[in-house]
Amino acid sequence: MGNQPMIVLSEESQRTSGQDAQSMNITAGKAVAESVRTTLGPKGMDKMLVDSTGNVVVTNDGVTILGEMDIEHPAANMIVEVAETQEEEVGDGTTTSVVVAGELLSQAEDLLEQDIHATVLAQGYRQAAAEAKEILEDIAIDVGADDIDALESIASTAMTGKGAEASKDLLAELVVDSVNAVADDQGIDTDNIKIEKVVGGAVDESELVEGVLVGKERVHDNMPAIVEDADIALLDTPIEVKETEIDTEVNVTDPDQLEQFLEQEEKQLRGMVDKLVEAGADVVFCQKGIDDMAQHYLAQEGILAVRRGKKSDMKALSRATGGRLVSNIDDITADDLGFAGSVSQKPIAGDEKIFVEDVEEAKAVTLILRGGTEHVVDEIERAVEDSLGVVRTTLEEGKVLPGGGAPEIALGLGLRDFADSVGGREQLAVEAFADAVDVIPRTLAENAGLDPIDSLVDLRSKHADGDDSAGLDAYTGEVIDMEGEGVVEPLRVKTQAIESATEAAVMILRIDDVIAAGDLKGGSSDDDDGEDGGPGAGGMGGGMGGMGGGMGGMGGGMGGGMGGMM
């Protein structure tokens, strides 16, 4: 009895352990990194993503690519989370973080084959990451909030290599102006910057509205198209006769009764409009509907009204004008009204839109992005969102680093020196970390069609001579002073990328057993929401199907979409 094996897992369960599990997870992580590696840098390539319904996304934005891909492998999804975290925290550097994570796994794979234990690698990687942050802080450059040229350079760098590159100078100026417009003592909330995409026209026709652009038009042609010095009412309630909550039936026996019934409705609507007039409203933005008769009365009073506004627009209008969102028209007073110097209806690319401008203390602005096609405008939006993130991060932290692979070269040299002071086998992990960060300048060179070995040698030579700002110009192939050329990026973009990549790599390396079953309950009852982890375990089983082939699930969604195109 004592020698008989005990069966713990069901026959339906799948289990991979030891070196096989590590190898499988590392392969999956590397595959994710490889999928976005060619998009890195100013000469990075784009990816075309096609879903099962034939919708197409063309982009080189790392987090967008990974978000659109159908990735099932659980370890691969850990790398995707690196990009998502990077995007949420600092707004840029997603591709860098994923590529570094993949290279850390690749370097670790070589050491695992030399019988270096995964926990030793994890400890060494963490030591290297901590030292890397100190090295980066030592070479960081201070930037003040009033240094507009530097901020525009940072915004421009974030758009380099993306669809917006041809107009990056104009867009960078708009980005910096918009961030400064919403900045206050509480910080910078980029949610106060609304992006409105307009298909039609050139990218150079993009503009910043200090206020709010609402993608609607006035509800009645007899309403004024322009209102100066406007007092603005914001309503979260319809200007309509309220329907009863119970089923009712009205029997009309003669025309007089019908007329009385209609007159009563009109009286209610007239009363609502009178309330707005008494409060002093010149413009009304209503989140709900406006009755046709109420529209007529509003037009008679010379009030410009807009109905069915989006919730996000109403919030933006409240921030920009200082108005309060009112849920009951009977309660509205002059104190609830917002103010704008001008409210007007103007055409953009054939569509009428409402502009709310000349706001005294605008805490909300609108970036109008234009482009020839929907794909162009979408890619410009992604580039501008990245740029907004890095400018915000720079203003919050006040430190930047030179671009062009300069920080990574400095890290490589600094970490190799640091490795000499690390005892035990962790020294090998620190050296591997130093080699891993070199993947960024190496990839920049490869994507620019340059010899990566020659580029690395030139960069290291410059840095060894004390030039911490020496980076690779992907257009000329020369090693130049990146700070002098204005190619800089926020310090926190790099430190966050190092932190996220290290944590993801360490987490994957420490996994030596992967167990999956077709249908795990996780102790939850049938009618439980599964918050105790039931769905997580079940989802793991579903994702494990693609594990045998490393990234089997990764191309499934794209393959299906492409198949439909043929």
Is 95 among the residues known to form the active site?
yes
Which residue in the list 16, 27, 59, 61 is annotated as catalytic?
61
3-class DSSP state of 31: helix
Is 274 among the residues known to form the active site?
no
DSSP E strand boundaries for 484-551 = 488-490, 513-516
Q: How high is the pLDDT of residue 211?
A: 83
Whether residues 417 and 555 fall in one domain = yes
**Domain presence at residue 1:** no
Indicate the burial class of 147 (C-beta count within 10 angstroms; 0-12, 13-18, 19 or more).
middle
Report the distance separating Cα 255 and Cα 11, nearest Å: 79
Q: Which phi-psi region, left, alpha or beta, contains residue 405 (left: φ > 0; alpha: ψ -120 to 50)? A: left
User: Which pair of tokens denotes residue 222?
Assistant: 């007899």
Which residue in the list 39, 94, 366, 394 is annotated as catalytic?
94
3-class DSSP state of 315: helix
- The label of the residue with tokens 């849920």 reads 327
Whether residues 136 and 152 fall in one domain = no
Q: Tell me which DSSP letter residue 157 carries.
A: H
**Domain presence at residue 7:** no
Whether residues 67 and 126 fall in one domain = yes
Report the distance separating Cα 130 and Cα 508, nearest Å: 19
Q: Which helix (H) or strand (E) holds 209?
A: strand 207-209
Is 94 among the residues known to form the active site?
yes
pTM for the full predicted model: 0.76
Whether residues 201 and 219 fall in one domain = no
**Domain presence at residue 392:** yes
DSSP 107-155: HHHHHHHTT--HHHHHHHHHHHHHHHHHHHHHH-EE--TT-HHHHHHHH
Report the distance separating Cα 537 and Cα 525, nearest Å: 14
Q: How far does Cα 230 stand from its chain's mean position?
A: 35
**Domain presence at residue 158:** yes
Per-residue tens of pLDDT for the chain, all 566 residues: 456 555 555 555 666 666 778 889 999 999 999 999 999 999 999 999 998 888 898 898 899 999 888 888 888 999 999 999 998 888 888 999 999 999 999 999 999 999 999 999 999 999 999 999 999 999 999 998 888 999 999 999 988 887 777 888 999 999 999 998 888 777 787 778 889 898 888 899 999 988 888 989 999 999 999 999 999 999 999 998 876 556 666 676 777 666 666 677 788 889 899 999 999 999 999 999 999 999 999 999 999 999 999 998 898 888 888 899 999 998 899 999 999 999 999 988 778 999 998 886 667 788 999 998 998 999 899 999 989 999 999 988 899 999 999 999 999 999 999 999 998 899 999 999 999 999 999 999 999 999 999 999 999 999 999 999 999 999 999 999 999 999 999 999 999 999 999 999 999 998 887 767 555 444 444 444 444 444 444 444 444 444 444 444 444 444 444 444 44
DSSP 60-83: --HHHHHHHS----HHHHHHHHHH
Report the distance separating Cα 319 and Cα 316, nearest Å: 5
Whether residues 120 and 131 fall in one domain = yes
**Domain presence at residue 9:** no
Which residue in the list 386, 438, 458, 473 is annotated as catalytic?
386
Whether residues 20 and 111 fall in one domain = yes
Q: How high is the pLDDT of residue 483?
A: 92
CB-CB contact of 48 with 60 (8 Å): no
Q: How high is the pLDDT of residue 531?
A: 43
User: Which pair of tokens denotes residue 358?
Assistant: 């000349």
User: Which pair of tokens denotes residue 462?
Assistant: 């410059």
Report the distance separating Cα 441 and Cα 443, nearest Å: 5
Backbone angles phi, psi at 283, to 5 degrees: -135, 140
Which residue in the list 95, 237, 366, 443 is annotated as catalytic?
95
Q: Which helix (H) or strand (E) holds 169?
A: helix 168-182
CB-CB contact of 365 with 178 (8 Å): yes
CB-CB contact of 133 with 498 (8 Å): yes
Strand pairing class (470-472; 399-402): unpaired
Report the distance separating Cα 107 and Cα 271, nearest Å: 75
Tally of structural domains, the chain: 3
Strand pairing class (488-490; 399-402): antiparallel
Whether residues 120 and 149 fall in one domain = no
Is 386 among the residues known to form the active site?
yes
Report the distance separating Cα 307 and Cα 235, nearest Å: 9
Q: How high is the pLDDT of residue 200?
A: 85
Report the distance separating Cα 26 and Cα 106, nearest Å: 7
Closest CA to 320 of 421, 234, 411: 234
**Domain presence at residue 4:** no
Q: How high is the pLDDT of residue 4?
A: 59
Q: How high is the pLDDT of residue 461?
A: 96
Whether residues 427 and 348 fall in one domain = no
CB-CB contact of 505 with 29 (8 Å): yes
Whether residues 136 and 223 fall in one domain = no
CATH code for the domain of 31: 1.10.560.10
**Domain presence at residue 356:** yes
CATH code for the domain of 166: 3.30.260.10
**Domain presence at residue 5:** no
Whether residues 230 and 354 fall in one domain = yes
Domain that holds residue 266: 212-361
Report the distance separating Cα 346 and Cα 58, nearest Å: 31
CATH code for the domain of 353: 3.50.7.10
Whether residues 54 and 85 fall in one domain = yes
Domain termination residue (choose one: 306, 340, 361): 361
Report the distance separating Cα 308 and Cα 285, nearest Å: 8
Whether residues 556 and 413 fall in one domain = yes
Report the distance separating Cα 513 and Cα 331, nearest Å: 64
- Could you report how far apart the first and last alpha carbons of the chain are, in Å? 61
Angle at 527 between CA 523 and CA 530, to 5 degrees: 50
